[in-house]
Amino acid sequence: MEQFPCDGSTRVRAELEVHDIVDTSVNETDAVPGTVGVGEAIEDWTGDARFFEYSEAADPIGDGVISAIPAVSFPAALYAGGPSRIVPLDLSEELRTPYPATSPALLASFVRINAGDELSLQPNATSQLLYCIRGRGRSLVDGKVVRWKEGDFVTLPATTAATHVAERESALYHVVDTPLLEYLGAVASTPRFRPTTFTAEATQAKLAEVASAPDADRRSRVSVLLNNRRFDQTLTATHTLWAMFGVLPAGRTQLPHRHQSVAVDLIVDCLPGCYTLLGDRIDSGSAQIVDPIRVDWEPGGAFVTPPGKWHSHHNETDRDAHLIPIQDAGIHTYLRTLDIRFSTEESSSP
Ligand SMILES: [Fe+2]
């Protein structure tokens, strides 16, 4: 795009160009308010315009005009066996979208690839995040090879065509921001980062470091956040996606918290007796969730945490459990709308 520095001569030039355009496209003597002239044709552009009295349209979320985001679980049985395939965690019916979506901005999928098989993906996405649930393989990305194994994360930018090849039976958790682009009517065309691998060894080493810190018992989370150094303001895995690898220690309960991003959580491992509580309100005395619903964890299963819902994670077993929440918190942080809160702040506030 041509740049116009702020000086008088250039401004005159810009005004002349606008004047020229008006002269060639609209016959001012025929112009009618609410219509646009294109050559000799006059088209009525008012047909889709309408108005509401303020209170009728001020809160489409609260009024249920736009659908709520449901708290839904997806079992590991969806990809436990069978042929190589993509299993979208599709809530498009609940979200009333004409395209697959797990949340308004994200589509999460299980990807099963049997040994020796390959599967190609080229989503319209600014960001792809892959986590290797099990197995081992490689991805051919723009003529280069990215290797992965159980516990590795890989992020891929816009326009990436990747062929994923399994060297043994493999399962991947794949999250993209395609629904956000579908909603915008946009095609991602500019890579904002390079393909990036967060290895299992590096992730687990950082988690061990965090867990062994003297104040780990007093922290609300024992977790690591993935960050691509190119996003040094949002501190997220990509500019749209946020990803965490966390441990829920045996016998521990994490304090409730909430945020406006939607989470699509993957449970890595757990024993029966690990679960998440979800609800709309916090008891001001106990700082616990009032009338919660319970979502039980399952190794390899996933579930959706809606925006703004209070949620707390519970481990009533004698073994540590691990989870990977992935959220659209990159874009929320950029928009300054993440609004993360913890129940202790809420219950102690006046
Ligand atoms: Fe959360």
> Residue 304 C-alpha to ligand 1 middle, in angstroms?
10
Spatial neighbors of 37 by CB under 8 A, at least 6 apart, are: 25, 26, 27, 30, 31
> Residue 55 C-alpha to ligand 1 middle, in angstroms?
32
Q: What is the mean pLDDT of residues 324-350?
A: 85
> Residue 326 C-alpha to ligand 1 middle, in angstroms?
9
Q: What value does the CA radius of gyration of the chain take, rounded to a whole number of Å? A: 25
Model pLDDT, residue 39: 67
> Residue 113 C-alpha to ligand 1 middle, in angstroms?
30
> Residue 123 C-alpha to ligand 1 middle, in angstroms?
26
| pLDDT per position as a tens digit, 238-286 | 999 999 999 999 999 998 999 999 999 999 999 999 999 999 999 989 9
> Residue 215 C-alpha to ligand 1 middle, in angstroms?
21
Residues of the chain with pLDDT > 90: what percent?
80
Q: Do you know the residue count of the chain?
A: 350
Name the fold adopted by 201-348. Jelly Rolls (2.60.120)
- Distances, alpha carbon 65 to alpha carbons 47, 59, 101, in Å: 22, 8, 18
Phi and psi (nearest 5°) for 334?
-60, -40
> Residue 220 C-alpha to ligand 1 middle, in angstroms?
11
Residues of the chain with pLDDT > 70: what percent?
87
Structural element, H or E, at residue 325 = strand 321-327
> Residue 84 C-alpha to ligand 1 middle, in angstroms?
31
> Residue 303 C-alpha to ligand 1 middle, in angstroms?
12
At 179 the three-state DSSP class reads helix
Q: Which two tokens stand for residue 209?
A: 């470091």
d(CA 343, CA 311): 9
Model pLDDT, residue 21: 39
DSSP 292-336: -EEEE--TT-EEEE-TT-EEEEEE-SSS-EEEEEEESHHHHHHHT
> Residue 324 C-alpha to ligand 1 middle, in angstroms?
10
The residue extents of the domains of the chain are: 73-198, 201-348
Model pLDDT, residue 37: 60
Buried b (16+ CB within 10 A) or exposed e, 5-44: eeeeeeeeeeeeeeeeeeeeebeeeeeeeeeeeeeeeeee
73-198 and 201-348 agree in CATH topology: yes
> Residue 270 C-alpha to ligand 1 middle, in angstroms?
18
Model pLDDT, residue 142: 86
Q: Name the architecture of domain 73-198.
A: Sandwich (2.60)
d(CA 251, CA 248): 8
| pLDDT per position as a tens digit, 75-128 | 999 999 999 999 999 999 999 999 999 999 999 999 999 999 999 999 999 999
Model pLDDT, residue 348: 44
| pLDDT per position as a tens digit, 145-195 | 999 999 999 999 999 999 999 999 999 999 999 999 999 999 999 999 999
Model pLDDT, residue 215: 80
Model pLDDT, residue 346: 58
- Distances, alpha carbon 19 to alpha carbons 36, 238, 326, in Å: 16, 43, 50
> Residue 257 C-alpha to ligand 1 middle, in angstroms?
6
Q: What is the mean pLDDT of residues 38-60?
A: 90
- 216 or 168, which is more confident? 168
Dihedral in degrees, nearest 10, Cα atoms 329, 331, 335, 336: 20
d(CA 169, CA 185): 36
> Residue 80 C-alpha to ligand 1 middle, in angstroms?
27
Q: Confidence band (pLDDT; 50, 70, 90) for 40? A: confident
> Residue 32 C-alpha to ligand 1 middle, in angstroms?
54
> Residue 310 C-alpha to ligand 1 middle, in angstroms?
8
> Residue 263 C-alpha to ligand 1 middle, in angstroms?
7
DSSP 9-23: HHHHHHHHHHHHHHH
Model pLDDT, residue 1: 39
Q: Is the pLDDT of residue 33 over 90?
A: no
Q: Which two tokens stand for residue 123?
A: 């989503």
